[in-house]
Structure 1
C-alpha cells in the first residue's frame, strides 16, 4: 500500500548527509540540492509513519488541521514539517496554524506520494454509503454521492439545517410549521389584501407525501423585469435522477379563463432561488392574477390546483397509489 522504499531512499540520503556518511563528490550538485530541499518533509513524514501502527493513522496524516477535511495536492507544509491543505493556506494568511511560522511555498511531496497509494471510504459512510475509493477519486464521488445530506428546502429563511429526507420532513413540520398532506392532488387558495404592489416574497405552502416520496409546493412573488408576477412550482425531496420519474401539473383560473403548467419537479438539490430564477413553474402576471380574482384590484384571491403522477405508471393517482 505505502511506498516505504520511496521514503527510506530520501530519508537515508538526508541522514547520511547529516552524519557525513556520503562523500560530496559522489553526489551531483542537483541531487544534493534536491535532498536538502526535501529534507524536512521526508524526515517528518518518516517519523510519523514509524509511529503509525495502522492504516487509519496514515489516513489521519492526511487530515488538514484547520478544516479537518482530507488534503489533496498541492499539500503545503511549513519549515517545521506541519502540513495543511491549499484552501486553508490562504485562510491562515500564509502562517502555519501549529507553530505560526511563515509557510512559504513548500510542497509536501512525500505525503502526496503516500496519498496515491491509499483508499478511503466515502465520507458519508455513517449515512449509508459503503463505497471505498482510491484517494484521488473520493472527492469526485462525494460531490455526487446519493447519501450526502440535503440542505433544508424551506423557502423564506436562511436555514442551515442539513440531513436525510425523513429528518428534514420532521424538521419542516416541527420547526417551520409547514403543512403536511398525504395524496398527490392539491387545491390551495392564496389571498392577499391590497395587492397593488408585488414585493419579493416566498412561501412553502405544503409538503405532500405521494408514491412513498415527499414533494414541496412553493409560491413566490417577485418582479420579472418590470412586471410584478406570482409563481408556483413543485420540488422533489430527493435526488435529481429520481425526480425525473415524476411529473406534475398546476392550474390557476377564474372568470372563465385559466393558466396551466406541466413539468417535472426539480430536486431540492437545486435551491428554491435557482428554480425561481429559471422560471421553471407556473408564472402568473399580476394583472392576470387580479382578473382571476374578480378584477376589483382590492384583494388577490388565487386558487392553485395541481396533481402529481409517476411517469412509469402513466396513470392518474388514486388514493391507494398515493399513500
Structure 2
C-alpha cells in the first residue's frame, strides 16, 4: 500500500496545502517506521508483534484509551480521537484545545482496515487473530475473556479466571467450600417475615473437576415473599450444558423437587434470579416445611449434581450419576 495515496479529509472545512502535507508526511513517517518492510497487501504483518503493537497505539483514543473505529476525528493540528469522546470534550481537542470541527482522519481509517491483531485475551490463551474491525466483536464473546466474580452479596468488581475466582471467593468473601456432588444444607432465619434481596447465601462445590455455585436467597416476587435456590456453573455456557442438578425441599409429608441445567456465571446472578430458573418456594410453604409454630425458618435443601454423557449408539444424553 502506498501511504502517500492516503489522506485525511474534512467534511465541512478545507485544509490548506501546507497543513495537509505536514499531516500527511507525519502519518507516513510513523507508519513507515513500524512497517518493517511489510508486503504491499498489508501495512503490518501479524507475525511482527512489536510492529503491530506500535501501529495499534496510533489507533488508541487519547481520552478513553480504547481502540478507535470509524468515524475517527482529528483537529486541525492532526490530533485524533474517537467519535464517542468527541462529544464528551465539547468539540475541543483534548491535546491542543483547538476546535475540532468535523474533520475525518481517513488515513487512520484506511490503516485500521489493513491491520490484523491478536485478541486482547491472547495472554489468557486465545490464539485468534482478527482483522481490526472484527476484533472488537470477537472480544465481547471470547471464551477466554475473564469472568466476573459470582459473589452476589456485594457489588464485587473482581474479574479473573476460574482458579483465581475460586481462591478469591474462599479468601476474600469467606465462602463455604465443599467437595462432592451431593449436598444437604439447612437454612435458618429467626425472623422470616423480613424478606430482603440482601438475604442470601452462597456455597461453592467442587465436583467432576469443576466448580459450582449454589445460591439461596429471599426476595420479593411481585407482592409475594419467596425463597429461591439455584445452581451456577463456573465456566462457559456450552460446557455448563454437560451437567444437570436437582434440588429438593420438604417436610410434613410434602416435598418440592426441581431439576435443571446450571447456568453459567457468564449470566449474572440477578439475570438468573429474575428469570426464575431455579427452585422457588413461597414463604408460607417454606414455613410449613419448617414445622413447629412457623415463626422461624428451618429449611433443609438437598441436592445432587450429575454429568450428562453422550450415548454413542442413540446419540441421546444419559445421566452419569455421581457415586
TM-score, normalised relative to structure 1:
0.85
Aligned partners of 2:149 and 2:156 also within 8 Å: yes
Aligned partners of 2:183 and 2:302 also within 8 Å: yes
Tell me the CA shift for residue 94 of structure 1: 2.9
Q: Equivalent residue for 1:248?
A: 245
| Structure 1 residue matching 2:302: 3-state secondary structure | strand
| Structure 2 residue matching 1:311: 3-state secondary structure | strand
1:13-63: per-residue Cα shift (whole Å, max 9, x none)?
99xxxxxxxxxxxxxxxxx96886992754442242244355332222112
Alignment partner of 1:156 out of 147, 153, 157: 153
Q: Give distance in 1, aligned partners of 2:55 and 2:232.
A: 43
Residue 309 of structure 1 pairs with residue 291 of structure 2 = no
Aligned partners of 2:6 and 2:106 also within 8 Å: no
Q: Give distance in 2, aligned partners of 1:174 and 1:231.
A: 26
Q: Give distance in 2, aligned partners of 1:145 and 1:84.
A: 26
Alignment partner of 1:9 out of 5, 9, 21: 5
Aligned partners of 1:195 and 1:297 also within 8 Å: no
Aligned partners of 1:123 and 1:142 also within 8 Å: yes
Aligned partners of 1:205 and 1:217 also within 8 Å: yes
Alignment partner of 1:83 out of 80, 97, 107: 80
Q: Structure 2 matches for 1:49-198, cutoff 5 A?
A: 49-52=31-34, 54=36, 55-56=51-52, 57-198=54-195
Q: Give distance in 2, aligned partners of 1:202 and 1:107.
A: 53
Q: Equivalent residue for 1:45?
A: 27
Q: Give distance in 1, aligned partners of 2:225 and 2:19.
A: 64
Tell me the CA shift for residue 137 of structure 1: 1.2
Bigger drift between 60-69 and 174-183 goes to 60-69
When the two chains are superposed, the root-mean-square deviation of aligned CA atoms in Å is 2.3
1:114-166: per-residue Cα shift (whole Å, max 9, x none)?
11111000000111112111111111111111110011110110011110000
Aligned partners of 1:249 and 1:260 also within 8 Å: yes
Q: Which runs of 5+ in 2 are unaligned?
A: 37-50, 310-317
| Structure 2 residue matching 1:52: 3-state secondary structure | helix
* TM-aligned CA distance change 1:65 to 1:34, over 3 Å: closer
Bigger drift between 262-271 and 50-59 goes to 50-59
Tell me the CA shift for residue 91 of structure 1: 3.2
Aligned partners of 2:197 and 2:217 also within 8 Å: yes
Aligned length: 296
Larger relative helix fraction? 1
Q: Give distance in 2, aligned partners of 1:238 and 1:130.
A: 19
Q: Give distance in 2, aligned partners of 1:97 and 1:154.
A: 39
1:155-187: per-residue Cα shift (whole Å, max 9, x none)?
110011110000000000000000111111111
TM-score, normalised relative to structure 2:
0.85
> Whose Rg is larger?
1
Q: Give distance in 2, aligned partners of 1:129 and 1:80.
A: 38
Bigger drift between 34-43 and 307-316 goes to 34-43
* TM-aligned CA distance change 1:42 to 1:198, over 3 Å: same
Q: Which runs of 5+ in 1 are unaligned?
A: 15-31, 319-323
Q: Give distance in 1, aligned partners of 2:88 and 2:283.
A: 47
Q: Give distance in 2, aligned partners of 1:110 and 1:236.
A: 46
